[in-house]
């Protein structure tokens, strides 16, 4: 996860949803993403996948 960048989409395993937004921080324990709904903290070992997506057009 340490090489991920802003705009990365995260899918928490226990929530069955994604957290699309700006990547705020990455640590061994969690990633923090700022979404439209607010700040989302995702525990690292619940991550299923992550990928970089293009910025939203606005």
Report the chain's C-alpha Rg in angstroms. 10
> From CA 13, how far away is CA 24, in angstroms rounded?
20
pLDDT digits (tens, 9 = 90+) for 11-29: 555 656 678 888 899 998 9
pLDDT at 10: 60
Which residue ranges make up each domain of the chain? Answer: 8-52
pLDDT at 44 over 60: yes
Q: Does domain 8-52 have CATH number 2.30.30.100?
A: yes
Specify the pTM.
0.63
């Amino acid at each position: 996860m340490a090489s991920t960048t802003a705009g990365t989409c995260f899918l928490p395993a226990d929530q069955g949803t994604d957290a699309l937004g700006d990547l705020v921080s990455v640590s061994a324990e969690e990633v923090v993403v700022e979404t439209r709904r607010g700040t989302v903290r995702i525990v690292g070992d619940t991550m299923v996948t992550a990928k970089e997506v293009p910025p939203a057009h606005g």
